[in-house]
Amino acid sequence: MRRLVTTFFIVSLAVFVLLLPPAKAAPKNDGFPQGGSLNYGEYGRPATLDPITSNDMISLRISELIFNGLVGIDEKQEIVPDLAERWDISPDNLTYTFYLRHDVTWHPKEGEEPRPFTADDVIFTYNIMKHPQTITPLKVRYEFIDSVVKLDDYTVQFNLKRPILNGLAKFTFKIIPQHGPENKEFLTREDPFVHHPIGTGPYMLKNVTADGEVILVANENYYRGRPHLDKFVARPFADQNIMSQALMFNAIDMIVLVNPRDIPQIQGDKRLVLQPYNALSYSFFGYNVRNPLLADKRVRQAITYAVNRQEMLDSFFNGQGTIISGPFAPGSWAYNLDVEPLPFDPQKAVSLLEEAGFSKGDDGIMQKDGKKLSLILKVPIEKESEGVKRVVLGFQNYLNKIGVEIKGEFKEWQAWKEDVFLKHDFDVVFASWVFDDSADITSLFHSSEIGPWRNNFGGYSNPEIDSLIVESKLTLDHEKRRTIYRKLHALLAEECPYTFLWTLTNYAAYHHKLRHVAIHPYKFFSFSDRWYIPEQEQR
């Protein structure tokens, strides 16, 4: 009987302990102070704040503060445990089993206790990501997963269709809570969760102000210990020049991307630190090949020959960048060094248009079968910096000289994205992509990625490109993949679905008071829970 009582007591105690809300995480034991807030400038408002539906860097940076993946990447670019404390990979590389941490909780909803993070959330995230009606660019990245199985509350097993290169790195995708989205089947931009997300990360969303400021506060229960800073505020700026001024006048503490024209001024300011981070990015003019005039590659090539890219870079961005020849950034392992950018050659441009059946009309505009070569260029208003305005004007002038009319339209960021990614209502866009180290261009150029809210917004389709992309996905050989990427680079440089322009110098700038700043070159805020401000400099 006594034994029974003891057993009952132990079991009751265990149940009680399990039902208790988890205790607050201990502060970090690194000797650095807590407190202070960081106001950082962004060049626009995030479309969504969740990691699934977003397809821009502004959203990605914020979701990096709010969410975690099963695994993460440390400052030495090594895969490290995150929500999963360890994992097993089967010898055939087809089964990945993740053992989840028991001490992670979701940010609490108002008036509620924090809920524990479990295997159900992982399964939920995968299922919602995969659902055909979920608006996400992530589907293509996870097509290699066959099934996900919950082994117990804290163990999940992913079964792969085939072994893949860098398999573990794929599990850096962010996990969202089962109790987050209203619609448990699929996620769209209409779901309140995408604007008011709940995560497990170091910062929790407090609110979004009418001015579009995103205010985040420290997660006291963060499993790695409370982050040092009390608050993170993302402030949108429509104009990058004004953002730089705001930094220099102490209105903000950091800007994530310094306008190249402002680099000398910031470098000369002793209160500020300029920190390079090599985001693999480039700018381009992208074409909508649904327009029959642009479906002919000779027309796209002609436009590329007509534009003096070096002159634009030198004049509008103080030469602070590099002209590129294809779909990869020059700092990428995939860049084909054999391919040179097409030269500036307006004569060649005119010849190509004539070869494609165009001739100049009375108004000086090229036309074919009665259709004028008059194109609408759409540019997001957030990019309305002085440099971008000049690029648009320059583009118009260069093309005017070969008889191509360009009508520039600046659109508000959301409206621009809807026109480009949803309605496909444009002829040309001026935009920039940024890639992580994998240099994966599948979502940009594979024909399966044509459709609403997909990254192949121009509708480009080429069986040879498709076949190479698929082969690159299937191989387990790094050198083979490298060769394929070199071929893709050469082919796309020839095909001109984009006019590949340049990669600009990327610097973040921040006040000296901010310490221990390490920046992830792609995700930016990955290590921000360790940033701090000395007590005497907190305001």
Partner 1 sequence: MMGKNLKKGLFICCLMALVLEASLSEAADPLRQGMQSYKSHHYEDAAATLLAHLRSANPGQQGKLYLGLGMTFLACAQVYQELHQTALSVQVDYLSKLLASHKEDGSHYAKLYLGLSLLDSGNPAEAAVLLRTCIRDKKIEPRDKSLAKIALARAYYLQGKNKSADELWSSVDTSDPEVVSELAATYSRLGLAERKPLAMEDQIRQMMQQSQKGDSIRLTNNLITVYAREGQIDKGLSVLKGSDLSDFFYEETMGKNKVVRFYDSSLLENLAVLYGRASLKFLGKAATDEKVKGLAQYYLAEAEAQFGHIDQSIKILDDALASGLLPSPYREKAELLQGVARSWQSGGGQSQMVLENSIWQQNEPHVLADTLLVCNRLNLECAEIARKATTLVEAIDGKKLETLPYALGRYYLRAHEYDQAIACMETVRDKSNKNKIEYNDPLMLINLAEAYYRSKRFSEALEIYFGMRNQFPAVRQIQISMQGVYAMEQKSAGDAKLF
SS (H, E, C) 184-199: CCCCCCCCHHHCCCCC
Cα 493–chain centre separation: 23
- Report 517-536 residues binding partner 1 (CB under 8 A): 521-522
Pick the stretch among 49-57, 152-160, 216-224, 458-466 that binds partner 1 (CB under 8 A): 49-57
Residues 359 and 372: their CA atoms lie apart, in Å, by: 10
Q: Could you tell me how many residues of this chain bind partner 1 (CB under 8 A)?
A: 73
DSSP code of 21? Answer: P
Residues 507 and 510: their CA atoms lie apart, in Å, by: 10
Residue among 117, 203, 222, 433 that touches partner 1 (CB under 8 A): 433
- Report 487-506 residues binding partner 1 (CB under 8 A): 487, 505
Residues 139 and 514: their CA atoms lie apart, in Å, by: 37
Mask for 143-172, x = binds partner 1 (CB under 8 A): -----------------------x-xxxxx
- According to the binding rule CB under 8 A, does residue 78 interact with partner 1? yes
> How does 17-44 read in b/e, with b if 16+ C-beta sit within 10 Å?
eeeeeeeebeebeeebbbbbbbbbbbbb
What is the residue whose two structure tokens read 């800073």? 229
- According to the binding rule CB under 8 A, does residue 60 interact with partner 1? yes
Q: State which residue, 123 or 169, has the beta carbon closest to partner 1.
A: 169
Mask for 91-130, x = binds partner 1 (CB under 8 A): ----------------------------------------
Cβ neighbour number for residue 191 with a 10 Å cutoff: 22
Residue among 388, 484, 496, 508 that touches partner 1 (CB under 8 A): 484
Question: Sign (positive/negative) of CA torsion 287, 506, 265, 383?
Answer: positive
Q: Among 524, 74, 504, 517, which residue's Cα sits nearest to residue 331?
A: 504
Residue 196 beta carbon to partner 1: minimum distance, rounded to whole angstroms: 21
Which phi and psi angles does 498 have, rounded to 5°? -125, 160
Q: State which residue, 30 or 477, has the beta carbon closest to partner 1.
A: 477
- According to the binding rule CB under 8 A, does residue 320 interact with partner 1? yes
Q: State which residue, 435 or 532, has the beta carbon closest to partner 1.
A: 435
Count of residues making up the chain: 539
Q: State which residue, 137 or 394, has the beta carbon closest to partner 1.
A: 137
Q: State which residue, 226 or 383, has the beta carbon closest to partner 1.
A: 383
Residue among 108, 330, 451, 534 that touches partner 1 (CB under 8 A): 330
- According to the binding rule CB under 8 A, does residue 343 interact with partner 1? no
- According to the binding rule CB under 8 A, does residue 76 interact with partner 1? yes
Residue among 478, 512, 516, 535 that touches partner 1 (CB under 8 A): 478
Helix (H, G, I), strand (E, B) or coil at 532: strand
Pick the stretch among 302-310, 471-479, 489-497, 529-537 that binds partner 1 (CB under 8 A): 471-479
- According to the binding rule CB under 8 A, does residue 480 interact with partner 1? yes
- According to the binding rule CB under 8 A, does residue 205 interact with partner 1? no
- According to the binding rule CB under 8 A, does residue 437 interact with partner 1? yes
Residue among 304, 332, 367, 499 that touches partner 1 (CB under 8 A): 332
Pick the stretch among 110-118, 150-158, 198-206, 280-288 that binds partner 1 (CB under 8 A): 280-288
Pick the stretch among 24-32, 55-63, 114-122, 346-354 that binds partner 1 (CB under 8 A): 55-63
Q: State which residue, 362 or 479, has the beta carbon closest to partner 1.
A: 479
Q: Exposed, middle or buried by CB within 10 Å (0-12, 13-18, 19+), for 514?
A: buried
Which phi and psi angles does 230 have, rounded to 5°? -75, -35
Give CA separation, 114 vs 97, 198, 230, 413, in Å. Answer: 26, 10, 19, 35
Q: Which residues contact 451 (CB under 8 A, 6 or more apart)?
A: none
Residue 226 beta carbon to partner 1: minimum distance, rounded to whole angstroms: 26
Residue among 21, 276, 292, 361 that touches partner 1 (CB under 8 A): 276
Residue among 52, 57, 243, 450 that touches partner 1 (CB under 8 A): 57
Q: State which residue, 168 or 356, has the beta carbon closest to partner 1.
A: 168
Residues 174 and 450: their CA atoms lie apart, in Å, by: 24
Cβ neighbour number for residue 175 with a 10 Å cutoff: 26
